Structure 1
Amino acid sequence: MSAPLPAPSPSSSASSAESVIVTRLRAAGCVFAEDEARLLISTAATPDDLAAMVDRRVGGLPLEHVLGWAEFCGLRIAVDPGVFVPRRRTEFLVRQAAATALAATAAAFAWPGAVVVDLCCGSGALGAALAGILDRAELHAADIDPAAVRCARRNVAAVGGRVYEGDLYGPLPAALLGRVDVLLANVPYVPTEEVGLLPPEARIHEARVALDGGADGLDVLRRVTAEAPRWLAPGGSLLVETSEHQAARAVETVAGSGLIPRVARSDELYATVVVGTMPAP
């Protein structure tokens, strides 16, 4: 006669529950199902919360919208439903901005702290991350999407910044004219006809205004670049993310506005950043 099986322990029960979640996530097409299952389990407050979160993820909602946050530059950035999720490749833009600001610090005799503006800020991830890297920063951010502004205010307030609602430079205080040391602009740069080719998580669950860059993807970049010289301080820099095949036209646009352009690339993150620096007097 065989011995009876021991009663399942709490740890084995938890392992079984995780296995069920992983199976459901895999069936829904989640490539990193194991990682996602662990994040969902660690974030959920109750079993009912966990079940609802798994259902939302299986239904196609981006993981970050299910969790309510995204990891970016080592920070947990609050991300509400419908708000653009910061991409890991954009961490390269933040690193380039930090290097630019720190170089300005080294060149200045007495630098009171960088004035940073984050346009098309979405969740405010870029500005918040950059302000966290710099010792001192006066941070301002703006977005046209009310949902993004509400979300950004939570993230930017944590580093003492301010967020404004409106189109590009429109809502910024006039006192910033000619004072901006670092102008971040993670503008939408997907060509209109290619928006429909994006993964469903982006095209369905993120605001189109955060994705669509016009016929060639550079419409918003042109508007940002045209006005940048009015806002940048001497030696200040505009930094924008583009695709690799758009970089040459973006450089022409930046140079045409009177800024000195350069291109930085990261093969690891498949990221391309165009930097335009305001000539010093």
Structure 2
Amino acid sequence: MSLSLSPAFSSVVARLRAAGCVFAEDEARLLVSAARTPVELDDMVDRRARGLPLEHVIGWAEFCGLRLAVDPGVFVPRPRTEFLVRQAAALARPGAVVVDLCCGSGAMGAALAAVAGPVELHAVDVDPAAVRCARRNLAPADGKVVGTVYEGDLYAALPAALRGRVDVLVASPPYVPTGAIGLLPPEAREHEPQVALDGGADGLDVVRRVVAGAAGWLAPGGHLLVETSESQAEQTAEAVARTGLAARLTHDDELDATAVIGTWPGGART
């Protein structure tokens, strides 16, 4: 009997549909395949039906073709951020020094390293739970270390030796205005950390801090890539330009993804 025709699978689909899960059949397949016992499956379906993000229930998320650990309480990487990875990969040569600020689970750094080839990757997050998860993804037990993860507030957590050496600096910082947090889906506002969502009154508090500090860390010809919303893109680009970087906007309609890219002028610093 195929999985889709089994009584257990049908029961899971029915429970998920009753809970309002739009993609009940797809989620049921993932839950059934992830559960090791019927008791564990029942518990996982119950947690999903109560509104926990699917990724927190099964323990992983697919991002840029990779299966990456996502622990409960950690920000779930969004498909739109794959656009930022593609933009960064096009700018990162093999061996590049790459920094991922507000790294969350480490998904973006892991994907960039996989796409761009061997890079010197450094990732930072202020949330201890995110740092623990990122270390699982970037320094796994098999010994194949992808990158180094630091706990702290943006640039303050980075080794001083990286100043002026960073070729690609990527950031998907919180950019939801405080007043709009309540409009997010319950999965996000109730189960993901506020620090990964809340960008302040206009959503740009952390974005501005990322932009303001970038020039001191970029190598000549280095690039800053920041994810933002389409409505915030012009303000973000203006902030990037004020730091002396050449700024440009890029957008992907299919993913509804927007990025601002700033490039530090080539040549030696004065």
Instruction: Show the 5 A alignment for 1:1-281.
Output: 15-101=6-92, 105=93, 113-158=95-140, 159-281=145-267
* SS state at 2:155 partner: coil
Q: Give per-residue Cα distances to partners, 1:153-196, cap 9 Å, x unaligned.
A: 00111442110000001111111000001101100000010011
User: How far apart are residue 135 of structure 1 and its match?
Assistant: 2.0
CA RMSD of the aligned region, Å? 1.3
Over the matched positions of the two proteins, sequence identity in percent amounts to: 72
Aligned residues between the structures: 263
Structure of higher CA gyration radius: 1
Runs of 4+ in 1 over 4 A off after TM superposition: 10-14
Q: Which position in structure 2 is the counterpart of 1:108?
A: none
* Counterpart code for 2:127: D
* Counterpart code for 1:89: R
Q: Which moved more, 1:22-31 or 1:150-159?
A: 150-159
* SS state at 2:173 partner: coil
* Counterpart code for 1:120: C
- In structure 2, how many angstroms separate the alpha carbons of the residues matched to 1:98 and 1:225? 20
Q: Which position in structure 2 is the counterpart of 1:109?
A: none
TM-score by length of 2: 0.95
- In structure 1, how many angstroms separate the alpha carbons of the residues matched to 2:100 and 2:256? 22
TM-score by length of 1: 0.91
Structure 1 unaligned spans of 5+? 1-9, 106-111
User: How far apart are residue 13 of structure 1 and its match?
Assistant: 10
Residues 166 and 222 in structure 2, CA contact (< 8 A), matched pair in contact too: yes
Question: Quick one: structure 1 residues 12 and 181, their matched pair in 2 at CA, closer, same or farther if it must change by over 3 Å?
Answer: closer
Structure 2 unaligned spans of 5+? none
